[in-house]
Amino acid sequence: CLDGEGKVHEFDSSWRTEDCDDCSCSKTGIGCCTSYMRPVDYDEEKCESIFNKETCSYTVVEKDDHSKECPVHSWVG
């Protein structure tokens, strides 16, 4: 399989992209999906979500004080 970056992958192999997608190669082609959950139910006026590419995860923190995490009631992925 040839991925979008021009790299060749063997059949029945899997890998994680720089954009935190989990991909796999089979004889029918490449399939990819996100490896992380995205926060969707939190106080968006007071808080903001920040994506960490190194850990492939979101944190939700107060806009005025990033040291304070906000509660999240729902995640999707």
pTM of the full structure: 0.75
Q: pLDDT digits over 14-69, tens only?
A: 999 999 999 999 999 999 999 999 999 999 999 999 999 999 999 999 999 999 99
Q: What angle do CA 26, 30, 32 make, to 5 degrees?
A: 125
Closest CA to 4 of 28, 26, 27, 29: 29
Count CB atoms within 10 A of the CB of residue 40: 13
Whether the Cβ atoms of residue 60 and residue 49 lie closer than 8 Å to each other: yes
Q: What are the CA-CA distances from residue 54 to residues 16, 20, 35, 57 (Å)?
A: 12, 9, 12, 8
Q: Domains (ranges, CATH) in the chain? A: 1-35 (2.10.70.10), 38-76 (2.20.25.590)
